[in-house]
């Protein structure tokens, strides 16, 4: 910075003090929040926002703007205070903190334009920061990413997944800062102020590591400069701080986590103490108005590639192809059509077939090794900065990132999850490798589109729709090869279904998805041979679901509806259909996996766990009586 440190430092100290005051005032007004967690990091925030980062407070989404991720999301009040201080909005808004009519929520969400991803579930922000840092490389931007973590947060395994990813990808455009205030929510943290515990871990994980006094502005500025100049690896600044810093009667005291100062005497006393710490800055000093001098991101002329039409699938009817394989093929077509499409995997690319994409676009493929949390977290960061990321792994291992999937819903971020190897139809590997609750996991979140194609054509067509569906989406694919049943020009919609067999004399509607579509078709053939007609539906869109289409079929078949799914009985196809048709007074019988399965051949398992053609035929028989 051009401003002399002798002038700069007292001005930043004043900003830090103001941020502390704002954090205390807003939480006291709200009656809840984490002011002491804000106070410990105020000097870091002042240095970072007003002497280091390049950004435009009025245009936080500028693609070349430095990113700041508050991984310790409970310190939201000071994040808001910093943006207000920078001029993003009026300081008076801060007093609406945590109110139902304000976007200044208890923990940050992207309802605010300067927040990329929701934080507040610890250990996630640093993973998203991996994604925003990767994105800078993707769009060839010089912007840097800063992520501020808590020390308690450092116990989360996801932090160490991010640590590995950062060093493996040599992300020298990423700088982490850990606010080591030594106090967690309920007690002293694991390592308290033993800075070496932190330093040796981050160093071992391949990061450049700097230990500073987090209340020494000069030391913080030096560390940030050192981080900026460190090449080939990310930097972690470990800042030794005091929780509640600046307010003598709470400094370093246990029992103050997540407690607002009581309005009145308690708050007034805290603020009075802080106000005394303000030092005079001459009005004509170059440091008098640091907010006005925040360097804007460089104006980069950036050609935006217009997405092309996604090439159609090219299968033959009856051709045997696993939907997971079609997923890989579709991903390549998408990659060809749109430069924003990127893929991530967790060391199963040769099973999910994302390796096809890697071969075609090695620069847009990110290998996360066996670390599903940082894979999904990085995808969230990439999506927040304009990429269209497809993270893939076995569907059962997406449960490893369930909390990220939850937070992605809250962020309404544009990630496209892909889970392969759904259900008992994977066979011999056994239950640990079978996803039987993935539909439940994704359907539970309000914002997710959940797709479950049964053949190559529908997989490819749905992939193209999914890529441009705003918000999070999940596609479930299967291990076994299944015949192509749709012609290449068949069209699909998110929220649609396909009636595969119908006649005026259908006695029941059987609704399958994925592999069970073929069991339903087999049951159709068997029943037809005995003179019984059933309607067969491919429910390829499990969320949203085609309510009208289902009700129509149900009504046309005497209200007799059967769902059959390679998923547990709860939260999947059965529940989706049942809720959809309940309003029409219709009920549903469900065939689903109802106990913990085991190893065996796929067809043996479909049989044993009650979701084969034979069971459908029996169920129709019972229903028709």
Give the CA diameter of the chain. 95
**If binding is defined by CB under 8 A, does position 203 make contact with a copy of itself?**
yes
From 47-55, 80-88, 102-110, 453-461, span contacting a copy of itself (CB under 8 A): 102-110
Find the binder of a copy of itself among 84, 586, 617, 620 (CB under 8 A).
Answer: 586
What are phi and psi for residue 211, nearest 5 degrees? -100, 130
**If binding is defined by CB under 8 A, does position 589 make contact with a copy of itself?**
yes
From 12-20, 348-356, 478-486, 493-501, span contacting a copy of itself (CB under 8 A): 348-356
Q: How many residues bind a copy of itself (CB under 8 A)?
A: 110
Cross-strand partners of 85:
none
From 150-158, 323-331, 475-483, 525-533, span contacting a copy of itself (CB under 8 A): 150-158
CB of 428 within 8 A of CB of 600? yes
Q: At what angle do helices 456-468 and 323-337 cross, to 10 degrees?
A: 40
DSSP characters for 557-575? Answer: TTT-EEEEEEEESSSSHHH
Residue 436 or 454: the one with the smaller Cβ distance to a copy of itself is 436
**If binding is defined by CB under 8 A, does position 403 make contact with a copy of itself?**
yes
From 59-67, 239-247, 282-290, 590-598, span contacting a copy of itself (CB under 8 A): 590-598
Residue 319 or 604: the one with the smaller Cβ distance to a copy of itself is 604
**If binding is defined by CB under 8 A, does position 105 make contact with a copy of itself?**
yes
Residues 162-181 that bind a copy of itself (CB under 8 A): 164, 168
The tokens describing 471, both together, are 């918000």
Residues 468-507 that bind a copy of itself (CB under 8 A): none
Three-state DSSP at 237 gives: strand
Find the binder of a copy of itself among 20, 25, 67, 98 (CB under 8 A).
Answer: 98
Find the binder of a copy of itself among 20, 201, 208, 324 (CB under 8 A).
Answer: 201
Q: How far apart are CA 204 and CA 236, in angstroms?
A: 12
∠ Cα 511 517 522 (to 5°): 105
From 148-156, 274-282, 303-311, 492-500, span contacting a copy of itself (CB under 8 A): 148-156
Catalytic position from the list 156, 161, 372, 519: 372
Q: How far apart are CA 609 and CA 615, in angstroms?
A: 9
Residues 318-347 that bind a copy of itself (CB under 8 A): 345, 347
Three-state DSSP at 436 gives: coil
Residue 337 or 398: the one with the smaller Cβ distance to a copy of itself is 398
Residues 418-457 that bind a copy of itself (CB under 8 A): 427-433, 436-437, 440-441, 443-447
Residues 357-376 that bind a copy of itself (CB under 8 A): 367-371, 373-374
372 is catalytic: yes
Cross-strand partners of 541:
451
CB neighbours of residue 315 within 10 Å: 22
Find the binder of a copy of itself among 40, 62, 65, 158 (CB under 8 A).
Answer: 158
Find the binder of a copy of itself among 278, 317, 596, 624 (CB under 8 A).
Answer: 596
Burial class (CB in 10 A: 0-12, 13-18, 19+), 598: middle
Residues 21-80 that bind a copy of itself (CB under 8 A): 30-33, 73
Q: At what angle do helices 372-384 and 402-411 cross, to 10 degrees?
A: 10
Query: In whole angstroms, how close is the CB of 233 to a copy of itself at the nearest point?
Result: 14
Respond yes or no on whether the N-terminal peptide bond of residue 83 is cis (omega within 30° of 0): no
> Which residue has 């029996």 as its token pair?
618
Q: Are strands 561-568 and 589-593 parallel, antiparallel or unpaired?
A: parallel
**If binding is defined by CB under 8 A, does position 564 make contact with a copy of itself?**
no
Q: How far apart are CA 502 and CA 420, in angstroms?
A: 30
> Which residue has 């002042």 as its token pair?
46
Find the binder of a copy of itself among 13, 107, 385, 421 (CB under 8 A).
Answer: 107
List the catalytic residues: 372
């Amino acid at each position: 910075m051009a401003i002399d440190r002798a002038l700069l430092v007292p001005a930043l100290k004043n900003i830090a003090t103001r941020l502390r005051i704002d954090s205390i005032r807003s939480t006291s007004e709200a009656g809840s929040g984490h002011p002491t967690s804000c106070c410990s990091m105020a000097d870091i925030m002042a240095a970072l926002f007003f002497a280091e980062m390049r950004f435009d407070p009025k245009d936080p989404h500028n693609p070349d703007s430095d990113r700041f991720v508050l991984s310790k999301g409970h310190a939201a009040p000071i994040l808001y205070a910093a943006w207000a201080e920078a001029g993003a909005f009026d300081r008076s808004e801060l007093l609406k903190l945590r109110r139902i009519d304000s976007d200044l929520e208890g923990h940050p969400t992207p309802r605010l334009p300067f927040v990329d991803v929701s934080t507040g579930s610890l250990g996630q922000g640093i993973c998203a920061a991996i994604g925003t840092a990767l994105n800078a490389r993707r769009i060839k931007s010089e912007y840097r990413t800063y992520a501020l973590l808590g020390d308690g947060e450092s116990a989360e395994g996801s932090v160490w997944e991010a640590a590995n990813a950062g060093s493996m990808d040599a992300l020298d455009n990423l700088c982490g800062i850990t606010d080591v205030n030594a106090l967690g929510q309920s007690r002293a943290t694991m390592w308290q102020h033993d800075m070496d515990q932190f330093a040796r871990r981050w160093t071992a994980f391949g990061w450049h590591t700097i230990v500073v006094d987090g209340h020494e502005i000069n030391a913080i500025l030096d560390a940030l400069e050192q981080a900026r100049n460190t090449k080939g690896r990310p930097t972690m600044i470990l800042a030794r701080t005091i929780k509640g810093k600046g307010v003598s009667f709470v400094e370093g005291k246990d029992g103050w986590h997540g407690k607002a100062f009581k309005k009145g005497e308690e708050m007034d006393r805290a603020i009075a103490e802080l106000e005394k710490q303000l030092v005079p800055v001459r009005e004509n000093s170059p440091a008098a108005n640091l907010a006005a001098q925040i360097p804007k991101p460089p104006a980069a002329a950036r050609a935006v590639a217009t997405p092309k039409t996604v090439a159609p699938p090219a299968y033959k009817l009856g051709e045997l192809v696993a939907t997971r394989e079609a997923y890989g093929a579709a991903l390549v077509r998408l990659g060809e059509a749109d430069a924003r499409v990127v893929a991530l995997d967790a060391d199963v690319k040769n099973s999910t077939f994302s390796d096809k994409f890697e071969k075609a676009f090695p620069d847009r493929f990110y290998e996360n090794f066996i670390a599903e949390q940082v894979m999904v977290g990085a995808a969230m960061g990439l999506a927040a900065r304009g990429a269209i990321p497809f993270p893939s792994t076995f569907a059962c291992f997406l449960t490893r990132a369930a909390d990220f999937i939850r937070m992605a819903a809250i962020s309404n971020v544009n990630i496209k999850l892909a889970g392969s190897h759904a259900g008992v139809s994977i066979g011999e590997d056994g239950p640990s490798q079978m996803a039987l609750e993935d539909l439940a996991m994704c359907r539970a979140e309000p914002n997710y589109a959940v797709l479950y194609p049964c053949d190559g054509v529908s997989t490819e067509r749905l992939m193209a729709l999914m890529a441009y569906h705003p918000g999070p989406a999940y596609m479930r694919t299967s291990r076994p090869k299944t015949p192509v049943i749709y012609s290449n020009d068949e069209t699909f919609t998110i929220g649609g279904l396909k009636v595969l067999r119908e006649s005026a004399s259908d006695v029941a509607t059987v609704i399958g998805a994925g592999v069970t579509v073929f069991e339903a078709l087999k049951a159709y053939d068997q029943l037809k041979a005995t003179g019984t007609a059933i309607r067969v539906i491919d429910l390829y869109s499990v969320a949203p679901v085609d309510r009208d289409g289902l009700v129509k079929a149900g009504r046309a078949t005497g209200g007799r509806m059967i769902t059959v799914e390679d998923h547990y009985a709860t939260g999947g196809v059965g529940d989706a259909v049942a809720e959809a048709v309940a309003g029409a007074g219709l009920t549903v019988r469900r065939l689903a996996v109802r106990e913990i399965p085991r190893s065996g051949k796929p067809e043996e398992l479909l049989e044993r766990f009650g979701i084969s053609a034979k069971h459908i035929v029996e169920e129709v028989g019972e229903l028709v009586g």
